[in-house]
Amino acid sequence: MSVENFKAKIVSARMLASNVRELVLDRGAPFPFEAGQWVNLHVPNMEKRAYSIASAPNGTSFDLAVTLVEGGPVSTYLHSANIGTDIDVSGPQGFFSREKTGPGLYVGTGTGVAPLRSMMKDALAKGETRAMWLLFGVRTEGDILYRDELDALAKAYANVRVFYTLSRAADSWGGMRNYVQTHVEKLYRQMEALGEGAPHAYICGLHRMVGSVRDVLRKQMSVPREQVHSERYD
């Protein structure tokens, strides 16, 4: 799939968390890509920035989740850009994609959930019935992106389960706590016990988290290399 340079218009926007803004961009023509890929945004007089596509391939538009970085000119611009603004885009790019066989354990933190959302929605649209479990780690409950949607998917599809783990949970939080890597082995073993075949792990987030989860899977659990797929943001 070749990389293209094109203009896309911001057609809608909403805040997913206090510092994360979702942008829906439309290029006005079909935009084929593989779920899990990313695009570069080219803002005038600024450096380009890469963002994973958060939506499944479904036509002319695509979703991005943009974290506001303190002192970051591109994210500041994108958080203030109005509906109707044209953005220069190049893409799609990247090799982080879902395998066509086996159940999947999706592990993400922060906006690392974006390509995982894309993969899961694409798989469901194509009729996937094998287990797809998402382990999503953030600091606080207010940082959980796409929560209503993810909960709705878990309710609507028997093969989808969603687990949130908070590293700075309030006393009132009744769910999982600590970093994602502390829960990976248990969930992966539970998926193995389903009898659907060896699960693939899809990991996306910051370098340290990705490395820690890969270590659990590859070194601690001896999961084969070909079953572990990852994308790092830094």
Q: How far apart (Å, rounded) are the C-alpha atoms in residues 79 and 234?
A: 21
Are 220 and 147 in a shared domain? yes
Task: Indicate which CATH number applies to the domain containing 15.
Answer: 2.40.30.10
Same domain membership, residue 119 and residue 75:
no
Q: What pTM, to 2 d.p., does this model score?
A: 0.97
Q: Encode 208-219: b = buried (16+ Cβ within 10 Å), e = exposed.
A: ebbebbbebbee
Is 79 inside a domain boundary? yes
Kindly state whether residues 147 and 188 are assigned to the same domain.
yes
Domain match, 58 and 137 both: no
The pLDDT value recorded for residue 45 is 87
Instruction: Determine, yes or no, domain membership for 181.
Output: yes
pLDDT score recorded for residue 100:
87
Whether residues 133 and 171 share a domain: the answer is yes
For 68, other C-beta atoms within 10 Å of its C-beta total 16
Same domain for 116 and 202, yes or no, is yes
On whether the CB atoms of residues 218 and 191 are closer than 8 A, the answer is no
- Phi, psi (deg, nearest 5) at residue 96: -85, 105
226 and 117, same domain (yes or no): yes
Host domain of residue 174: 104-232
* 202 plus 160 within the same structural domain: yes
Same domain, 114 and 81: no
123 and 18 within one domain? no
* Domain-embedded: residue 113: yes
Please give the angle made by the CA atoms of 96, 188 and 158, to the nearest 5 degrees.
85
Say if residue 77 is in the same domain as residue 110: no
Residue ranges, the chain, pLDDT below 50: none
Q: What CATH number does residue 137 fall under?
A: 3.40.50.80
pLDDT digits 0-9 by tens, 89-108 = 999 999 999 998 889 999 99
Query: Does residue 99 belong to any structural domain of this protein?
Result: no
Is residue 98 domain-resident? no
Q: Please report whether residue 51 resides in a domain.
A: yes
b vs e for 39-57, b when ≥16 Cβ sit within 10 Å of the residue's Cβ?
bbbbbeeeeebebbbbbbb
pLDDT score, position 10: 98
pLDDT for 120 equals 98
pLDDT tens, position by position, 175-222: 999 999 999 999 999 999 999 999 999 999 999 999 999 999 999 999
Angle CA 209–210–212, to nearest 5: 65
Q: Which of 65, 93, 121 is the last residue of a domain?
A: 93
Q: Please give the tally of structural domains in the chain.
A: 2
Instruction: Show which of 60, 93, 126 is a domain's final residue.
Output: 93
Predicted pLDDT at 1 = 67
Last residue of a domain, which of 93, 112, 135?
A: 93
Tell me, what's the pLDDT at 140?
A: 98
Distances (CA, A) of 33 to 62, 119, 138, 175: 10, 11, 27, 35
Q: Is residue 41 part of a domain?
A: yes
Residues 109, 89, single domain; the answer is: no
